[in-house]
A and B are shown apart, each in its own frame.
Chain A
Amino acid sequence: MPTLKKEKRKIKGGYFWKILWVDLEAEEIKEIEFDEAFASKYIGGRGFGAKLVWDNIQKRKVDPLGAENVLVISPGPLAGLFLPASGKTSFVSISPQTGIYGDSSMGGSFGVELKQAGIDGLAIYGKAKRLSYLWIDNNEVKIIGNEKLKGKGSLEAEGIIKEEIRDENIKVATIGVAGENLVRFACVTSDWGRNSGRTGIGAVMGSKNLKAIAVRGTKDLPVYDLPRLEKASKASFNSLKENKNFIFWQQQGLMSVIDYVNEAGVMPTYNFREGVFEHAKKINGYEMLSKYKIGDTSCFACPMACGNVCLVKEGKYRGTVVEGPEYETACMFGPNLGIQNFSAIIKANQVCDELGMDTITAGNIIGVLMEAQENGLISEKDLDGLKLKWGSEDIVFELLHRIAQRKGVGDILAQGSLGIIKRWPQLQPIISQVKGLEQSAYDARIAISMALGYATSDIGAHHTRAWTIAKELEMGMDWPLEKKAELVIYHQTLRPLFDMLGVCRLPWIELGFDENQYAEFYSAVTGIEVTLGQLLEKSNDIYDLTRAINMKYGISRINDYPPERVFTLPMTEGPHAGKILKREDYEAILDIYYQKRGWTKDGLVKEEKIKTFNDPLMSP
């Protein structure tokens, strides 16, 4: 391993010590070595991304869709290693959807390939003169112009590039038409359907004329003590296998959550108005398993195999195949739109994957339009004469295509919630979003910790940072606010740590895998003995850093509130009928939350803390 100067460094594994800077405009590629202080403080993944984005916004004013915006892709020190679910990689940038810090992690094995090419971080800026893709073949890096990729679907483009490179086993991350057309919630896709879905990273690639990134990496991953890692990992794999839900989880994956959420009464139904969907049985995991599922898929090194490949075998969507649907997609296109036909959900998933757009946002805003038209908040003329009704599948597909092509009403929807509110301010109260990011598929009215989690997530209303709803429902409503705020902060610290290390959170949250094991993995890999607590402290610092980035864009307390209907619109059915959140409770928990985080009452990170992020970093 010539790139690793073992004798000099204290950190003896986990890194190739290389960030690859790609200037698409000047067609310049530079390798920059980082030091141990940087690796130790920012760890990798979203940590590296946040620091590089922070440095960039210190130097210049950054428009999310401008050439100056830096897109960072970083797999993390544990990515690609023999330990459970080490296939995650973070995509970080200033988000075109929200205009603030944005990141989204991707499963599959794209990040592993990048890591095996010897890259700890890929930082892309500038704008290519014509539609291009980046081809990284270990140490050889090329920017290849290819106008023929224009208008190709995400999966289609993956196939074309694999054929062009003549290697079926390379990894390719692509954008679809939505990304090319700068749809604000465009995603990046790899491995035939693994997405970096949220915050519009696909549009950032589109704005750079970057259709895809193709990688072939064959290097040994640096591990300090491989026998120690092997021992810890074998025990970990065994403990997962012994979990009583292991086989059930492999069979249904995240689709198993549908029954749980519906029974708990927190299913997003009819644009988040209700929490119970009367037809949930028609779209649940058992329905998928018995009629549609034709295969299991998993991300790199993951025994849980939560991915499902589904095929529609009959009816008008016959022949539709997709890696999915996952829980979020099934809910946002199912109950949230009043759709009870599982084939239509599969179709919507496949259409979104190929167009390259986020299913959560797409399902969310189409639901808003359905409610708006029902209530007469917008006219048929505004919607190009389309008649939207709950459950009208055909119009959903029509809208998805109009969004990607930016035709008619699609051009407004393509701008996401913020654009919709600008065009139709009257829709503000019925859109479930925070900071411009549309809420994902868990209701927040009855669980104040979930509302707080959405509201204080650094990227907007996504459950990735804190998914506390199950715990709160289990603990009962009388649990003190203090404990709930602590739980949210614990989630917001541990879950992003997974994104820094390059591993998935699901073994922990779904099968109760002991999070302390990650400290053991990190110690074995790097040769630096750490405890989970020490790693969490670093993750907590990154949360302050992303907040500092958002403060640059004017974010403060007023932006930390859950969607309006959480306070105003009670559900009419289910176990939580009649309930809403009390504003004063929310104000109280927000105060507690800021205090525990060490932020000011206005939700600002203190100046002396912010200064600690100004340590110099080599950049071109």
Chain B
Amino acid sequence: MPRRLAVIPERCSGCKICELVCSINRFGVNNPKKSAIRVMVIYPHPIIRMPIVCRQCKIAKCMENCPTGAIITRDGIYDIDGEKCISCHQCVISCPFGAIFLHEDIDTPFKCNLCNGNPRCVEACPKNALLFLPEHVLGQAQRMNSVLKYVHMKEVEYVEKGERKVLRYADIEKGKTED
């Protein structure tokens, strides 16, 4: 089952532990500037901390725009083939999320390859801001939220073991038969 790296910016604290583990796993060095995930911190307009990482787009702009066919895909995971890459940076500027990175010590651009199916940043994140989820689960939180926020819900109060509780429900459509 294809899995995706999902980011929850509201949980991110900007600690950059994800960047550290990525650089160690990917290049064997302690250098957050060599990681394929980057936490962007914007303040104060707006106030947000958001990890930027490749979304493994199915219709990948980086792949479409690569003039040498250096963007390769295996089991739905995209990576850059260092042999074919001419480092023209076309992929870097075509990625709508800016999730392909450069470093002066490294000849070719680099991007997240999901650590071959076991992304280290996910297990390292102390805030659970990074999740590795089956594709069909993506958007589920938003769907749940949308349901819970449904404005036409009604409430009934009741008492259980001496405690006051509220139960919310959506009543059935009554139609216009009452008129």
Contact = CB atoms under 8 A, between A and B. Distances in A.
B21 A155 contact: no
A231 B83 CA distance: 33
Given A82-B20, A241-B126, A294-B47, A301 B15 contact: yes
B133 interface: no
B43 A305 contact: no
Interface in B1-30: 10-17, 20-21, 24, 28-30
Given A297-B14, A301-B16, A309-B47, A82 B127 contact: no
A156 B103 CA distance: 29
A80 B20 CA distance: 9
A223 interface: yes
A218 to B, nearest CB: 4
Interface string B138-166: 00000000000000000000000000000
A169 B30 CA distance: 18
Nearest to B124: A237
B31 A250 contact: no
Contact of B30 (A82, A240, A295, A302): A82
A217 B43 CA distance: 21
B111 interface: no
Contacts of A299: 15
B126 A303 contact: yes
Interface residues of B, number: 33
A223 B23 CA distance: 13
A80 B30 contact: yes
B104 interface: yes
Contact of A220 (B10, B14, B29): B29
Nearest to A13: B30
A226 B30 contact: yes
Given A298-B15, A299-B15, A303-B15, A218 B31 contact: yes
Contacts of A226: 24, 28-30
A82 B42 CA distance: 24
Interface in A116-160: 116, 155
A533 to B, nearest CB: 27
B13 A305 contact: yes
Contacts of A112: 32
A192 B43 contact: yes
A168 B40 contact: yes
Contacts, number: 92
B175 interface: no
A155 B125 CA distance: 28
Nearest to B29: A220
B127 A305 contact: yes
B20 to A, nearest CB: 4
B16 A300 contact: yes
Interface string A153-183: 0010000000000001100000000000000
Nearest to A222: B30
A440 B12 CA distance: 31
Contacts of A241: 126
Contact of A237 (B31, B34, B126): B126
Contacts of A237: 17, 124, 126
A155 B44 contact: yes
A321 interface: yes
Contact of B15 (A168, A218, A300, A309): A300
Contacts of B24: 82, 226, 230
B61 interface: no
Contacts of A229: 30
Given A81-B30, A226-B24, A298 B43 contact: no
B127 A221 contact: no
Contacts of A301: 15-17, 20
Interface of A: 80-82, 109, 112, 116, 155, 168-169, 191-192, 217-221, 223, 226, 229-230, 237, 240-241, 250, 294-305, 307, 309, 311, 321, 323
25 contacts: A80-B30, A81-B20, A81-B30, A82-B21, A109-B16, A112-B32, A116-B33, A155-B43, A169-B38, A192-B41, A217-B33, A218-B31, A220-B29, A221-B31, A230-B24, A241-B126, A295-B10, A297-B13, A297-B14, A298-B14, A300-B16, A302-B15, A305-B126, A307-B13, A323-B43
Given A80-B30, A301-B17, A303-B17, 17 more contacts: A82-B21, A155-B44, A169-B40, A192-B43, A217-B33, A218-B104, A221-B30, A226-B28, A237-B17, A240-B126, A297-B49, A298-B14, A301-B16, A302-B15, A307-B13, A321-B44, A323-B43
| 10 interchain residue pairs of minimum CB distance | A303-B126, A305-B13, A298-B13, A296-B13, A298-B15, A220-B29, A192-B43, A218-B33, A82-B20, A220-B31
